[in-house]
Amino acid sequence: MNLRTLLSLPLTLTSLLTNRLQPLSKTIASIRPASTMVIESSKLNVLHGPLQPHTREGDSTHPTGFFRDGYCWGAEADAGKHYIGGVVTQDFLDFSKDRGNDLVTRRGGFPGLKDGCRWCLCVERWKEALMASERLGERVVPRVDLGSTALDALKTVKKEDLERFAVSRTQ
């Protein structure tokens, strides 16, 4: 029985009581319930939904991410764990450069970042900036796009901390 036939059946109390839907139970039983569908955890965001792209075609910093596919997810080979969908500030770029990671200078396939750029950030560097914010101020901490931040980031940072610096997709 197809969906059109199913939708055209009159579902009245009488039809239910007289078991007119009996043949349907076999069809319904063969459908896999949505609750058994599995999404690979590395493809989930910190909100437990599907990971959203952090950059898109046409963005000045596209493609970002360990795999340069626009997504902030990784694999065991990603030692930096580029899981944070960050919107960088100049204070963060200066902070990162002081620690040996120059994200401002354009080189090779890397576009160079400036204040407001979207980039997949290393979880540990984001956490360092969070810790440093007590003495350097909150501008040192990049804002976070929760929809494009991988669930695996929560192995290192607290969700509450990410939420505190959350930014909407349009910012």
Asked if residues 92 and 169 have their Cβ atoms less than 8 Å apart, the reply is no
Backbone angles phi, psi at 87, to 5 degrees: -115, 110
CA distance 128 to 96: 9
Where is pLDDT greater, at 166 or 35?
166
pLDDT band at residue 13 using 50, 70 and 90 as cut-offs = very low
pLDDT band at residue 118 using 50, 70 and 90 as cut-offs = very high
pLDDT tens per residue across span 32-55: 455 555 667 778 999 999 999 998
pLDDT band at residue 168 using 50, 70 and 90 as cut-offs = confident
What is the structure's pLDDT at 125?
97
What is the structure's pLDDT at 15?
45
DSSP secondary structure of 43-56? GBBTTSSBPPPSS-
